[in-house]
Amino acid sequence: MNTLIKKWGLFLLCLFSGISLFAQSVISGKINDEAGMPLPGVNVILKGTSQGATSDFEGNYSIENVSDGNYTLEATYLGYTKYSKNVSVNSENLVIGFTMIENAESLDQVIITGVTNPRSKIESSVSVTTMKPKLIEQSAPRTTAEIFRTIPGIRSESSGGEGNSNIAVRGVPVSSGGSKYVQLQEDGLPVLLFGDMSFATADIFTRYDSNISRIEAIRGGSASTLSSNSPGAIINLISKTGKVEGGSIGTSFGLDYSNFRTDFEYGAPLGNDLYFHMGGFYRVGEGIRDAGYTANNGGQFKLNLTKEFDKGYVRVYAKYLNDRAIGYLPNPIQVTGTNDDPDFQDLSNFDANSETLHTPYLSQNVGLGESGELRRSNVSDGMNPISTSIGMEAAFDLGNEFKITNKGRFSSNKGGFNSPFPASVLTASDFLAGDFATGNGYSSLSYANGDGAVSDNTVIAPVVLFDTQLNNFNNFMNDIRLTKDFGNLDVTVGYFKGIQNVSMSWLWNSYLLEASGENARLINGVDTGGNDITSNGLVGYGAAFFGNCCQRSYDTRYNVSAPYLSVALEASEKLNVDASIRFDNGKVDGSFAGPVTSAYDINNDGTISQPEQTVQAIDLSNPTVVDYDYDYVSYSLGLNYKIQDNQAVFARYSRGASAKADRILFAGLDYTDSDRINALDFINQAEVGYKRGFENGSLYATVFYAKTTEEGGFEATSNSIIENDYKSLGIEVEGSYRFNDFDVRGGLTFTDAEIDSGDNEGNTPRRQPDFIYNLIPSYNFGNAKQNSVGLSFVGQSKAYAQDSNELVLPGFVIINSFINIGVTENLKANISANNIFDTLGITESEEGSITEGQVNYLRVRPVPGRSISLGINYSF
C-alpha cells in the first residue's frame, strides 16, 4: 500500500511540475510618450521579482517566462511619472502598452531632430531644446517667431508680425534678412530650401497651432550635416499622430485688440495599428496694431494617418494653409540725444508700439503686372501664403540589424507679400526742399482726400509699397537613410533631394503718406499753379524713391542633391562618439529680368499724367540667364561622456555652409559661370557643453565659437549688398527647477560677436546684443493643481543699429503674464498678457546714426506693445 501511495505521489509531483514548467507566459507591449512617440530605455519590472526588461528604440519591451500569478507591473524613466499596473497571468500571453507622462525637463527625453537615430539628450553631443505646448503657452506668444525667443542662442526678431522675421543664432548675423543659417522644419523636412528668400521667408509658410506635439531646436552640431543650408540651427515643429486618443477645441479673442481665433485637433486609433490625427485653426481680426481694417484673415488644416506593421510604420499627411496676415515694416519714431545715449519717443500722432503705417486710405495698388498687363492688388492681403502639401514618412526594420527610413513631401506654394515700407521719414518742408521734390516740380503738398494743405511741420513718410507676387515657390523634399547596427557601432548612409522653385514678381509703387497711426491720409504733390501732379497719393508706378531700381521678376529653379554618411560609436557605457560628412551639389537654372520704363495710361482717362510718364514694367524681352552649379562639403565630429546617469559633458566641431538663392541675383555677375558666383557662405563652429539632470529639474551650459565667411547678399530695404565676415564667442545656459508647486525655467546667452573683414572690421554686427535672456516662473495651485499663474521675462542688452556701430538700440525686457484656470477637469480658461508694461523694444533701425542736438526722424521695428487675450479650451 505504501509503495502504491509513493508511486502516485511521484506521478502527481511530476504532473504538477510539468504543468508549472509549461505555464510560462510573456508580457510585452509598446511604450510611448504623450505625443505617441516611442520611448526607448524604459525600465519595466514585475515588482518583487527579478524579472524585467528594457524597451528598445521602437519602445517595445518583452518579459518572458512569467509564471501564473498576480503581479504589479512597474515602468520607470528619468523625467517621467512612474507607471504602475496590476496584472494577472493565467497561462496566456499579455500585451500591455502604455503611455509615460512627463513630469519635468528630462535628460532622458529622446530627440529626433538633427540626428540619424533617435537618442536621449543625456547621450547626445548636441545642444538641444525641447518645447511642448504647455511650456510654449507660458511665454504668451502672439506669433510663431515669438515662440523662438525662449530658445537659448536663438535671436528671433519677431517684430514683423506672423512672418518675415529675422532669426539668428549664436552671433551668426542676420546679414540680409530672414533665417539664412537657421532652417525651419515641419516633421523633419525643410519648409523651404532657403530661409532668407526675399518676401518668402520660411516662417511666412509656417504656423504653430494645436496640431504640434513639441518643437525641437538643435543649435550648431550635426545641423550642418543632416540638412542643407542649416549650419547654424534646425527648428523642427513635430506633429501629433493620434496614437493616443484625444483632442481639444479652443477659442481665444483679444480683450484690448481685435482678434478671434479657433483651434481644434483630434486623433484616435481607427483599428488595429491604424490611427489618425487632424486639426487646424482659423483666425480673423485687425491684429495687435491698429490698421483700420481687417488685417488678419485665414487659417490652416492638417491631417495625418499612420499604419503600424510588425517591423515598422507608414505615415501619410497633408496640410493646407491659406492665411492673410499683416506684415509690419518699420514705423516712424523721433530720436534726440546722442548716438551713445539716444532718447526714442513717439511722434505726436503715432504710437510706435500699437500703431502702423497701414491705413484704409491705401487699400489697393494698381499698375502693370509681370507680363505687362493691368493689374490690381489688395494691400489688405498682407503676407498671403497659400500652401498645399502632401507627404509621407516610413520606417522599417529590414532584419539583420538594418533599418530604413524615408521622408518625402511635395508642397505647392504661392501667394503674395504686400506692405508699405517708408523710404524715409521727414517733415513736409524738408521733403519739398529735397532733390526728389524739386526735380519733379513739387511746390506744395495737399491731402488727397480734400482736407486741405499739408503744413510744413507735418511729419510725412514717402513709402514704397512692397507689392510682391509669389508666383511659384513649389518644392519637393526627400530624405532617405539606411542604418546598420554593428553592435556598438551604427553606420548610416543617406541621400537628400531638394527641388525649390523661386518665381516672384516685384510690382512696387510709390506713395506719399502722412506719418500718422490712425487712418493715415495720402498726400498729393502740387505744382506752382496749384495743380495736383500726383494721383491720390501715388507718386510713381515703380520704386520712385529708390531710383526706380526694383521692378523685377525671378523664375529660377534650385536642384540640390546631398549624399551623407554618419557613424555613431558607443565606445563604452559612458562614452559615445559620432561623426558625419555631407556633400551638397546644387544646380541652378532659369532667368530674371529687371525694370523698363515707358509712358502708359494706367487709369485709361486718355491723358498721360506725370506718374504715368515713367511707368515701370518688367523687361521680359531682355532676361538675364541663370545657369550655374555649386557644391560644398560639410562635416561634424562630436563626443559625449556620461559622468553619471544624470550628467554628461560633450564637445563638437563642425563646418557647414548655406547657399544663396535670389539674393545674389542683383550683383551683375555672369550667372552662367559657376566659378564666378558667390553662392556660398561658410560657418566653422566649435562647442563644449555640460548637462545635468536633477530630481526636479535640469541644467545645460554650452560654450561656443563660430567663424562665418560671407560672400554678400542683396537687402531690399536698404537697396544694398551686404558682405562681411564674422566671428563670435559665447556661452548659452538653460535650466529648469521645480519646488513643490513652484516652477522656474529660463535661459541666458552671452555672445561676443565681431565683424572680421571690410571697412567695419572689429565692430559688433548690427542688431547683435551681448546678452539675450528669458525667465519663466510659474505657480500651480488648486485641489488638483489644475490652476497656474506665471510671468515670462524676455529681454536683451543694447545693440548697434548698423555695422558702423554709431547709433545704439537700447536694451529692453518684455514682461508677459498668464493665468490658467481649470474650470472643470477638461475645461480650462486662460488670460495672457504680452508686454504688460507696454515697453518700447526696438529690434531694428534702418538708420545707423543720428545728428546730435536736434530731433531726428527714424524708421524702426519695435516689438508689439501690450496686448491681452482670453482663451477657453476644452479637451476630450
Write out pLDDT tens, residues 787-846. Answer: 999 999 999 999 999 999 999 999 999 999 999 999 998 899 999 999 999 999 999 999
Per-residue pLDDT at 446: 97
Cell triple for 321: 494653409
Write out pLDDT tens, residues 410-426. Answer: 999 999 999 999 999 99
Cell triple for 81: 511619472
pLDDT band at 170 (very low <50, low <70, confident <90, very high): confident
Using CA atoms, how far apart are residues 669 and 661, in angstroms rounded to an integer?
14
Using CA atoms, how far apart are residues 126 and 673, in angstroms rounded to an integer?
38
Hey, is 193 helix, strand or coil?
coil
- pLDDT-above-70 percentage for the chain: 92
Mean pLDDT along residues 261-289: 95
Per-residue pLDDT at 123: 75
Give strand ranges (E) for 507-601: 509-514, 523-526, 538-540, 552-570, 575-593, 595-598
Contacts of 534 (CB under 8 A, 6+ apart): 512, 524, 525, 610, 611
Which residue, chain included where needed, has cell 535672456?
Answer: 773
Residue type, 249: I
The two beta strands, 489-506 and 459-472, are: antiparallel
pLDDT band at 667 (very low <50, low <70, confident <90, very high): low
| Nearest residue to 405 (alpha-carbon basis) of 487, 314, 526, 279 | 314
Residue type, 219: R
| Nearest residue to 661 (alpha-carbon basis) of 467, 503, 477 | 503
Hey, is 90 helix, strand or coil?
coil
- H or E segment to which residue 291 belongs: none
Answer with the residue of higher pLDDT: 138 or 93: 93
Q: Residue 19 pLDDT > 50, yes or no? A: no
Task: Give this prediction's pTM.
Answer: 0.87
Using CA atoms, how far apart are residues 485 and 117, in angstroms rounded to an integer?
11
Phi, psi dihedrals of residue 858, rounded to the nearest 5°: -120, 165
Answer with the residue of higher pLDDT: 110 or 392: 392
- H or E segment to which residue 214 belongs: strand 212-219
Distance of CA 739 to the CA centre of its chain: 32
pLDDT band at 100 (very low <50, low <70, confident <90, very high): confident
Q: Residue 12 pLDDT > 50, yes or no? A: no
Averaged confidence pLDDT in the chain = 89
Contacts of 844 (CB under 8 A, 6+ apart): 157, 159, 166, 330, 767, 801, 809, 860, 861
Per-residue pLDDT at 292: 94
| Contact assessment for residue 712 and residue 722, using Cβ atoms and an 8 Å cutoff | yes
In this structure, of 44-48, 83-87, 111-115, 773-777, the range with the lowest mean pLDDT score is: 111-115
Per-residue pLDDT at 717: 54
Write out pLDDT tens, residues 616-641. Answer: 999 999 999 999 999 999 999 999 99
| Contact assessment for residue 596 and residue 617, using Cβ atoms and an 8 Å cutoff | yes
Mean pLDDT along residues 297-325: 96
Write out pLDDT tens, residues 210-262. Answer: 999 989 888 887 889 999 999 988 999 999 999 888 899 999 999 999 999 99
Using CA atoms, how far apart are residues 822 and 824, in angstroms rounded to an integer?
5
Hey, is 820 helix, strand or coil?
strand
Hey, is 811 helix, strand or coil?
coil
Q: Residue 657 pLDDT > 60, yes or no? A: yes
Using CA atoms, how far apart are residues 284 and 295, in angstroms rounded to an integer?
8
Using CA atoms, how far apart are residues 79 and 83, in angstroms rounded to an integer?
12
Write out pLDDT tens, residues 669-689. Answer: 889 988 888 889 999 999 999
Write out pLDDT tens, residues 477-507. Answer: 999 999 999 989 999 999 999 999 999 999 9
Using CA atoms, how far apart are residues 199 and 327, in angstroms rounded to an integer?
10
Q: Residue 712 pLDDT > 50, yes or no? A: yes
- H or E segment to which residue 11 belongs: helix 2-22
In Å, the largest CA–CA distance within the chain is 140
Cβ count within 10 A of residue 779 = 16
pLDDT band at 207 (very low <50, low <70, confident <90, very high): very high
In this structure, of 428-437, 720-729, 825-834, the range with the lowest mean pLDDT score is: 720-729
| Contact assessment for residue 702 and residue 218, using Cβ atoms and an 8 Å cutoff | no
pLDDT band at 447 (very low <50, low <70, confident <90, very high): very high
In sequence order, the β-bridge partners of residue 300 are 281, 321
Using CA atoms, how far apart are residues 864 and 835, in angstroms rounded to an integer?
8
Mean pLDDT along residues 150-169: 83
Per-residue pLDDT at 640: 92
Distance of CA 778 to the CA centre of its chain: 25
pLDDT band at 102 (very low <50, low <70, confident <90, very high): low
| Nearest residue to 142 (alpha-carbon basis) of 798, 871, 826 | 871
Contacts of 624 (CB under 8 A, 6+ apart): 591, 592, 593, 594, 665, 671
| Contact assessment for residue 224 and residue 172, using Cβ atoms and an 8 Å cutoff | no
* CA dist 152 → 171, 222, 264 (Å): 12, 17, 30
Write out pLDDT tens, residues 178-192. Answer: 788 899 999 999 999
Using CA atoms, how far apart are residues 252 and 872, in angstroms rounded to an integer?
6
Q: Residue 715 pLDDT > 90, yes or no? A: no
The two beta strands, 98-99 and 24-32, are: parallel
pLDDT band at 75 (very low <50, low <70, confident <90, very high): confident
Hey, is 784 helix, strand or coil?
coil
